[in-house]
Amino acid sequence: MADTKREIERKYEATPETKLPKLTKVVGVSAVVDHGTAELDAVYYDTADLRLAAASITLRRRTGGNDAGWHLKLPVAPGVRDEIGAPLSDQLPRNLAALVRARVRGAELVPVVRLLSTRQIRVLTDVDGNPLAELSRDAVRAERLDDGAGRTASWDEIEVELADDADPAILDAVEQKLTKAGIQAADSPSKLARALAETGLGAPGTSAAHPAEPQTAGDHILVYLREQVVALLAYDPGVRRDLPDAVHQMRVATRRLRSAFRSFRKVLDRAVTDPIGEELKWLAAELGVARDQEVLTERLRAGIGEIPRTLLLGPVRGRLRIYTAAHGAGSRRKALTALDSKRYLALLATLDALLAEPPLLGAAAKPPEQALPKALAKDYERLSERIAHALELPAGHERDLALHEARKAAKRARYAGEAAKSALGKPAKRFAKRMKAVQTVLGDHQDSVVAREALRNLAIQAHAAGESAFAWGLLYGREEWAAAELERELPQVWAKASPDQLGGVLDG
């Protein structure tokens, strides 16, 4: 079984002669406890082209110390990583292999570097003996294990890692003390990165080269697409680990890619992007079952929480739990099956190929001020037509369907504005903000439509079980009222998104 901990640490340059300052002078530190010396032997694994290192991911098998085993470190923020551990074994544990599958694809994971470290460990504690941080002083020897076997490097470093539940401010206080003593922050973010550089493996690159400063319309759109592919890959392990919001963010990345393909069809050849868009649609659908049920359950629970107890007739919360369990069964398994499928890996490979050799059309070479506003104007026109059509319909099922279609168009227009922000600046930012406001109203309305359908089913089930359906009917009425209010609000929100309010971004 794997265990996870949040690793927050800072690294510093050192030499064998480096003297540590008196750390009990650091505010909050009462004692520095010597925990002796450990001999650590770690073999780091990666693909031959260092795909994990390129994503700032480290995978190692380590012996020695008090945490021998397999360790996978996933980046969270600068200086912050999630370390997922598994017991020591000869083979890479399957759960860790799954977490890097999207990066590795079908490539073999092989030993690339071995690090032998002599670690002196000191624990900084407060007046009650609670650990605040662990300071390690490492003498490191790195050995290449690939075709360049025999290349070595050696260095010393100091590492300060925040203890569980400790205040991160202690790291700043310790750093201030170290800096005053002449000890500087390390240039390399990790031992592995330094080992790769100093043994001649070099810094890992990226699969798709791109200009540092986008110039043309095509450049800007490709930068946006690349950001979404990076997000897609970054959230993959989070979905597998069932982290909060990971499924939602991964779906957002797929939607933004699909929207960009559609909105900027004059920039990118649809003969290439349409099939990719269909695969992204499939992925979003496979991921969406669990997320949609989660959103619905939260909404219904909140509604139940607002009803006075005297009106909660029957086992209302119990009925909701039964309903949620029945509709959520297998949804996570469905998402994981999709992520482990050959179809998903083929999609990732196709996205890589798209970025490496983008199918650019004539408009891609134009200045962004010429090409991108036309795409935004077309998306705006589509949204305008759908909203006008929906508002012409009487309240009811047909209007609900039409408003749902308008919601999709609003989301697409919003994403187009976000994609154009880097090129068009404030006007595109304003456009995206107004489209998001429209999308929010329409999205809330659609959530009410979905909730009413669920409430109707819950009322039927309650009645069939001999329970009171009163609370479900009450909630249904509230949802009807909320939807009507949103429909009355929509024209005002839409008026603020008129061309006159958008600062000329639709000109072009």
Beta bridge partners of 416: none
Residue 38 counted as domain residue? yes
What's the number of CA atoms in the CB half-sphere (13 Å) around residue 329? 6
* pLDDT surpassing 60 at residue 210: no
Q: Is the dihedral of CA 257, 259, 264, 266 positive or negative?
A: positive
pLDDT tier for residue 15 given thresholds of 50, 70 and 90: very high
Matching residue, tokens 């187009």: 416
Average pLDDT, the chain: 92
Q: Compute the distance between CA of residue 161 and CA of residue 170 in angstroms, rounded to an integer.
A: 10
Q: Is the dihedral of CA 208, 211, 214, 218 positive or negative?
A: negative
Residue 375 counted as domain residue? yes
Q: What are phi and psi of 39, to 5 degrees?
A: -100, 115
Q: Compute the distance between CA of residue 6 and CA of residue 1 in angstroms, rounded to an integer.
A: 17
Mean pLDDT, to the nearest integer, of 320-333? 83
Matching residue, tokens 């043994």: 199
Q: Hey, what are 476's tokens?
A: 């249904």
Residue 207 counted as domain residue? no
Segments forming the whole domain that contains residue 159: 3-168+181-198
Residues 149 and 227 grouped into a single domain: no
Q: Compute the distance between CA of residue 275 and CA of residue 195 in angstroms, rounded to an integer.
A: 42
Q: What are phi and psi of 474, to 5 degrees?
A: -60, -45
SS3 of 45-58: EECCCCHHHHCCCE
Q: Compute the distance between CA of residue 69 and CA of residue 275 in angstroms, rounded to an integer.
A: 43
Mean pLDDT, to the nearest integer, of 351-379? 95
CATH number at residue 410: 1.40.20.10
Which helix (DSSP H) or strand (DSSP E) does residue 381 occupy?
helix 368-392
pLDDT tier for residue 1 given thresholds of 50, 70 and 90: very low
Residues 136 and 229 grouped into a single domain: no
CATH number at residue 56: 2.40.320.10
**Residue pair 295/447 in contact by the 8 Å Cβ criterion:** yes
What's the number of CA atoms in the CB half-sphere (13 Å) around residue 352? 14
Residue 61 counted as domain residue? yes
Matching residue, tokens 């000109």: 507
Residues 331 and 446 grouped into a single domain: yes
Residues 230 and 345 grouped into a single domain: yes
For 114-123, 318-327, 344-353, which range has the lowest pLDDT when averaged over its residues? 318-327
pLDDT tier for residue 501 given thresholds of 50, 70 and 90: low
Report percent pLDDT > 90 for the chain. Answer: 85
List pLDDT tens digits, range 226-251.
999 999 999 999 999 989 889 999 99
Q: Compute the distance between CA of residue 327 and CA of residue 162 in angstroms, rounded to an integer.
A: 41
Residue 40 counted as domain residue? yes
Q: Compute the distance between CA of residue 347 and CA of residue 54 in angstroms, rounded to an integer.
A: 20
Residues 251 and 390 grouped into a single domain: yes
DSSP label of 265:
T
Say what the pLDDT of residue 79 is.
85
Residue 173 counted as domain residue? no
**Among candidates 71, 54, 53, which has minimal Cα distance to 62?**
71
For 112-126, 315-329, 339-353, which range has the lowest pLDDT when averaged over its residues? 315-329
* pLDDT surpassing 60 at residue 375: yes
Q: Compute the distance between CA of residue 23 and CA of residue 6 in angstroms, rounded to an integer.
A: 24
Residues 279 and 377 grouped into a single domain: yes
The whole model's pTM is what? 0.89
* pLDDT surpassing 90 at residue 507: no
Mean pLDDT, to the nearest integer, of 207-218? 71
Q: What are phi and psi of 77, to 5 degrees?
A: -160, 170
Q: Compute the distance between CA of residue 107 and CA of residue 26 in angstroms, rounded to an integer.
A: 48
List pLDDT tens digits, range 427-461.
999 999 999 999 999 999 999 999 999 999 999 99
Say what the pLDDT of residue 189 is.
87
Residues 223 and 162 grouped into a single domain: no
pLDDT tier for residue 206 given thresholds of 50, 70 and 90: very low
Distances (CA, A) of 298 to 294, 321, 440, 447: 6, 11, 17, 11
Alpha-helical regions (H) of 7-128: 51-54, 94-99, 101-104
Say what the pLDDT of residue 208 is.
43
Q: What are phi and psi of 61, to 5 degrees?
A: -120, 115
Mean pLDDT, to the nearest integer, of 292-317? 92
Mean pLDDT, to the nearest integer, of 471-489? 96
* pLDDT surpassing 80 at residue 330: no
Q: Hey, what are 9's tokens?
A: 């640490």
**Residue pair 134/143 in contact by the 8 Å Cβ criterion:** no
Residues 194 and 239 grouped into a single domain: no
**Residue pair 390/401 in contact by the 8 Å Cβ criterion:** no
Better-predicted residue by pLDDT, 143 or 77: 143
Who contacts 119 (Cβ-Cβ below 8 Å, separation ≥6)? 37, 38, 39, 40, 65, 136, 137, 138
Q: Hey, what are 314's tokens?
A: 């029957």
Mean pLDDT, to the nearest integer, of 285-290? 86
Neighbours of 161 (CB within 10 A): 15
State how many domains the chain has: 2
Residue 442 counted as domain residue? yes
Residue 506 counted as domain residue? no
pLDDT tier for residue 153 given thresholds of 50, 70 and 90: very high
Residues 304 and 420 grouped into a single domain: yes
For 102-106, 148-152, 200-204, 426-430, which range has the lowest pLDDT when averaged over its residues? 200-204
Q: Compute the distance between CA of residue 413 and CA of residue 352 in angstroms, rounded to an integer.
A: 25
Mean pLDDT, to the nearest integer, of 247-261? 96
Residues 279 and 190 grouped into a single domain: no
Residues 285 and 432 grouped into a single domain: yes
Mean pLDDT, to the nearest integer, of 273-293? 92
Who contacts 80 (Cβ-Cβ below 8 Å, separation ≥6)? 6, 7, 8
Q: Compute the distance between CA of residue 24 and CA of residue 32 in angstroms, rounded to an integer.
A: 7
Mean pLDDT, to the nearest integer, of 166-177? 96
Q: Alpha carbon 50 to chain centroid distance?
A: 22
**Residue pair 269/232 in contact by the 8 Å Cβ criterion:** no
- CB burial class (10 A; 0-12, 13-18, 19+) of residue 17? exposed
DSSP label of 185:
B
pLDDT tier for residue 77 given thresholds of 50, 70 and 90: confident
Say what the pLDDT of residue 148 is.
66
Matching residue, tokens 């470093």: 157
Say what the pLDDT of residue 212 is.
65
* pLDDT surpassing 70 at residue 321: yes
Neighbours of 268 (CB within 10 A): 25
Report percent pLDDT > 70 for the chain. Answer: 95
Residues 185 and 244 grouped into a single domain: no
